[in-house]
Each structure stands twice: as structure tokens, then as C-alpha cells.
Structure 1
Amino acid sequence: MKKWIFAIVICFIAFIGLNMTAYTVAEDEVAVVKTMGKIVKVIIDNPNDVEQVEKALKDKGYNVEVTSQKGLHFKLPFVQTINKYSSKYLTYTSVKETINTYDSRKIDVQMYAQYRIINPALFNMTLGSNSKLNTLMDDRVYPVVVQTANMLTFNDFFDRTKITEAIDSKKHSLNSELVSAYGIYVTDIGIHRKNFPLNNISSIEEKMSMEIQKESEKLMAEGDSEFQMAKSETDRIKKEIVAKAVEESSKIKAEADAEALRIYQESLKKDLEFYRFIQRMNTYKNLKDTTIFMDKDNDILDYLNGY
């Protein structure tokens, strides 16, 4: 019985000792190991960042072991302490603020940023806990959006491509500062929500209405000008076609009249008696139901009788 009690006590002491000397770093965590308050070891998330983290710490005068090995580790009990932080992507959302565009238009903007801890040693030395992260983002990341808005016009600010390009152009310099000073890397910055200030909505609507009316008048004037030009061109083409047709028809009629006269003259030359016969027939037709008086020596009687 005593042996069993002794074995249980030994196991309990071993368990307490193991618990005091062993610790685990999960896959979604990074850690800082301190010996008597001095950082001696850093466990980071990405193996590709090991050299970068080592260099950043050496540049600040710290000779620290950097590793990306997660899982079970051991420490000196009562001497070493472990600080763990999440290695997941964290999301920051700012409060709504009113900012000015380049053309002095006001917009209510709420922004977001996604970031992660890549150097837990610098993060531990400067911030120490996640509770100070929002303050850091308010002071360092949010001004990037404000500066971007100050350089863009109102219309450009609502162009997704232009606002994204403008923010991305400043993200590199921002990350250089955040990584070297705080061990934080920002992967994405954007506009979470943008609205018009309530006291500006009426003036914006009025200005937009005026711009729409101005654009409408411009389009109507351009349309009228195009219509008049098209009508003038159509009238000119019509006159040219009609003139050409009249000229052509006059030419054809003149040629036809000339040909008819020629045929008529040719027929007279061939049979003069036939011509006289035709003329008598026409005279008889015109004398129908008509009474005339003439003496016997009138030449018309000889003409009607065929003499």
C-alpha cells in the first residue's frame, strides 16, 4: 500500500513538474519566451519570416532565438514566462468620421483593415496586448484613408479602382513603419462604409439636379445641332437629285420632241396627198354641228371637195 501511495505521489510531482516546464504553441498562435523579463526566444508563424524577424531584432540590439516550430516546448520553471498572441488575420473597423475630398466635399467614412502579428517580440515590447491595437490603427492606419480622400475629388473617391490604387500606393510605406516599429503587417485596407452627411444631402441633391439639368441642356443642344446639320445635308441632296432629274427629263423630252418632229417631217415628204387627207378629216371633225356661210367661189369648198 505504501508503494502505491509513493508511486502516486511521484507521478503527481512529475505531472506538476512537467506542467511547470512544458508549454504548447498552437498553429494559430505566436509566442514570446522571457527569462527574468528579458526576451530570449520568439516563436513566429511563417518560416519565411524567420530571417526578417532576426534582422529586425538585431538592428534594435536584441540577440534573440527565432523559430517557426509550433507544438510542445520546454521552459525553466519560475524563471521563464510565455506570452502568446494570435497569428490569425485580425480585422479593424474604425468609427465613422467626416472627411473632406480634394474639391471640399464632405463624406462620412468608416474604414477597415486586416493585419497580423509577424514579429511578436516587437509587438510585446511596444504594445504588449491586443487591447492597444485599435488605438494603433486609429493613429497610424486610419490617417492613410484620410490623406487619400484629401487628394481625390468627390467623384474619384467613389471610383473603386481609383480609391483602391491610391490606398495601395501608400500601403507599402505604412507596412515598413508598422513592421519595424510594432511587428504588425497590414494585408488589406479599404472603405467599409461611406455616406453623405445628413446636413449635406439637400445641397448635394440640388447640385446633382443642376448638373443633370446642365448635362441635359448640353445634350439637347448637341442633338438640335446634329439634327439641323442632317436636315441641311438631306435638303441639299434632295435638291441635287431633283435638279438632276429635271435636267435629265428635259433632255429626254427635247430629244423625243426632236425625234417626233423629224418623223413627222419625213412622213410629209413621203406622201403629201395623205397629209392633205388628214387635214381634211380634221376640218370635217371641227365643222360638226356648225353652220357656215360662204360664196361658191370660196377656196375652202374646193379644199373640202378634194380639188
Structure 2
Amino acid sequence: MSNKSFFGLAALAVVLLVVANSVYIVSEYERAVVLRFGRLINPDVQPGLHVKVPFADKLRKFDGRILTTDARPESFYTIENKRLIVDSYAKWRIENVDEYYKVTGGDETVAASRLANRVADELRNQIGSRTLHEVVSGQRDELMHELTVSLNESANELLGIDVLDIRVKRIDLPDDVSQSVFDRMSADREKEAREYRSQGAEQAEVIRADADRQVAVLEANAYRDAEKIRGEGDATAAATFAQAYSQDRDFYAFVRSLNAYKKSFAGKEDLMVVDPKSDFYRYLNSMDGQK
């Protein structure tokens, strides 16, 4: 290879190196700053293709997406002086790149550590002003909201980050208070169960009394209607008999006597002692069936 070709390749390599150090790309999920000899000259580089001074300018990129800081479990005391072991995490992202770089040097670990310390301090203040019941179940959502709002203001100003959410993964009780808390919770649930059973028994008595009253009313109405219908039937029957009797009284008396004979002589072993001249035998003593 000739000297001319060698110098040509060397010049091309230098040009490529200069171009490679002059152009950089920032993606849409990244935040970046540009330093010139260690001094910050562009505190918030927008996404896209950019040009910098080769070998003089240095690019620092940071993750601009939502990040998660998983804090280590901490011990806190409630207003009742009950100790709790709280395990929490925080969701955050870079808001002010300039402030973020100045405070943390662009190190995500440093930012997460400082944020975790502030979360612990805020949790200590919030839990210290509430009872055990409020922290565990009663006001947990309110506590998390107040904690997020309060911490976001200070973190945005001091760390250049935006705290989106803070959540408690779990709350444990120390072994020395677990049994007492369990006994108290069990007693509270038993009290609620007794109240529910008492209310249920009271409602059952009310329903049972109302049902008995409705049954009594229905039976009374049914008996009244039945007696009314039976009375109307008896009246109709009596009127029918009376009408038939009034049409031919002798025939009616004869039919009644025949029915009486039939019932009296139905049993072969029956014995009756009756005067032959009595009215019972008036039709039997008459040859033509007359009285």
C-alpha cells in the first residue's frame, strides 16, 4: 500500500471518528444533558438527532420512563405507640433534568436512595399521627394520597423528580403485639357477629308475627265466607223444602214416613216396641195408604 493510500484511509478514519463524536440521538423515552469540559451547557436535550462539538462535549442520558423505588421495610410507631413494620414502594420519573443532574449527578441509585429516605420520613410522620386501625384499614387510601402530594412537592424541588404514587405493599406487626392485636380483632368480629345475629333474630320475629297475623286474618275471612255460603245454602235448602212441602203436604208426610220405616227396619236384629195404634204405623194400618 502506498503512502498516499495510507494517509487517505487515515484521513477517512479521522473524519468518521469526528462525525461519530459529533452526532447523537436521544430517544423519546430518554432525558439527556450535554456537558462541555464538565460544565453543563444544555440541561434538557429534546428527543431527536443532535450535533455536538466532538471531544469537547459529553452526553449524559437518563431513563425518562416511570421508575420504581422499592424501599426496605422500616419500623414506625402509631399515635398509640404501637410498632408497625411497613414495606412500601414509590413510582417516580425525572421532571427537571437540570436539577436532577445537579443533585444526583445523574446516578439513578442516588436518586432512589434519597427518595426512599424521604418516603420513610413522610411515612413516619403520617403513621405517627394515626391509630393502628386507621393505618391498617380505616384511612390507608387517604394516608397514601396525602403522602404522595406532600412528598411530590419536596421531591420536585429538591431532587427534580415527580413522585406519581406511593403504595404500601404490606404492614406487619411485631411478634410481641401480634397476638394482642389478633385477640382484639377477633373480639371485634365476634361483637359484630352477635349484633348481626341479634338483628336477624329480631327481624325473624317481626316477619314471623306478621305471617301469623296474616294467617289468622286469612283463616277468619275464609271461615266467615264459608259460614256465609253455608248459611245461604241452608236457607236455599230450607226454602226448597218449604216450597215442596207446601205443594203437597200429604205426599211429603208419606215420603218422610217411608224413609223412617226404611231406617227403622234396616237391621234384621233390631227390636222395637211401639204401640200399633201410634202415629208411626198410621200408613201401615191403612189399606189404601191413607191416614
Percent identical among aligned pairs is 20
Contact 1:32 1:42 (8 Å CA) reproduced: yes
Superposition pairs of residues 1-307 of structure 1, within 5 angstroms:
7=7, 27=27, 28=30, 30-33=32-35, 39-45=39-45, 47=46, 71-74=50-53, 82=58, 84=60, 86-89=62-65, 90-100=67-77, 106-128=83-105, 130=107, 132-150=110-128, 157=135, 163=140, 166-282=143-259, 284-285=261-262, 288=265, 289-290=270-271, 292=273, 294=275, 298=277, 300=279, 303-304=282-283, 305-306=285-286, 307=291
CA contact (8 A) 1:32 1:121 kept: no
Find the aligned partners of 1:258 and 1:99 in 2 and give their Cα distance: 92
Equivalents in 1 of 2:32, 2:215: separation in Å? 86
3-state DSSP of counterpart to 1:95: coil
What letter matches 1:268 in structure 2? Y
Q: Which runs of 4+ in 1 moved over 6 A?
A: none
Deviation at 1:163, TM superposition (A): 4.2
Once the two structures are TM-superposed, the CA of residue 75 in structure 1 deviates from its matched residue by 6.4
For the residue of structure 1 that corresponds to 2:282, the secondary structure is: helix
Instruction: Calculate the TM-score normalised by the size of structure 2.
Output: 0.71
Contact 2:76 2:83 (C-alpha < 8 Å) held by counterparts: yes
Unaligned runs of 5+ in 1: 48-67
1:129 and 1:299 map into 2 onto residues whose CA distance is 138
Note the aligned Cα RMSD (angstroms).
Answer: 4.3
What do the CA deviations read for 1:40-65 (whole angstroms, capped 9, x no partner)? 513425x4xxxxxxxxxxxxxxxxxx
Q: Contact 2:26–2:48 at 8 Å: present in 1 too? A: no
Using a 3 Å threshold, how does the CA distance of structure 1 residues 154 and 26 change in structure 2: closer, same or farther?
same
Please tell me the residue identity of whatever aligns with 1:140: R
Aligned-residue offset at 1:218: 1.8
**Distance of 2:43 and 2:224 partners within structure 1:** 100
Q: Which amino acid aligns with 1:112?
A: Y
Take 1:283 and 1:74, find their aligned partners in 2: how far apart are those partners? 141
Provide Cα deviations, 1:239-285, integer angstroms capped at 9, x if missing partner. 11111111112222222222222222323322122133234435544
CA 143–274 in structure 1, closer or farther in 2 if over 3 Å, else same: same
- Decide whether aligned partners of structure 1 residues 85 and 149 sit closer, same or farther in structure 2, where only a CA change above 3 A counts: farther
* Alpha-carbon contact 2:69-2:116 (below 8 Å) kept: no
1:91 and 1:283 map into 2 onto residues whose CA distance is 110
Amino acid corresponding to residue 211 of structure 1 in structure 2: D
State the Cα deviation string for residues 68-116 of structure 1 (Å, max 9, x = none): 6765421686xxx858352344432211112345676653212222334
SS at match of 1:92: strand
TM-score normalised by structure 1 residue count: 0.68
Residue of structure 2 equivalent to 1:51:
none
**Would the alpha carbon gap of residues 125 and 292 (structure 1) be closer, same or farther in structure 2, given more than 3 Å must change?**
closer
Contact 2:31 2:63 in 1 (8 A): yes
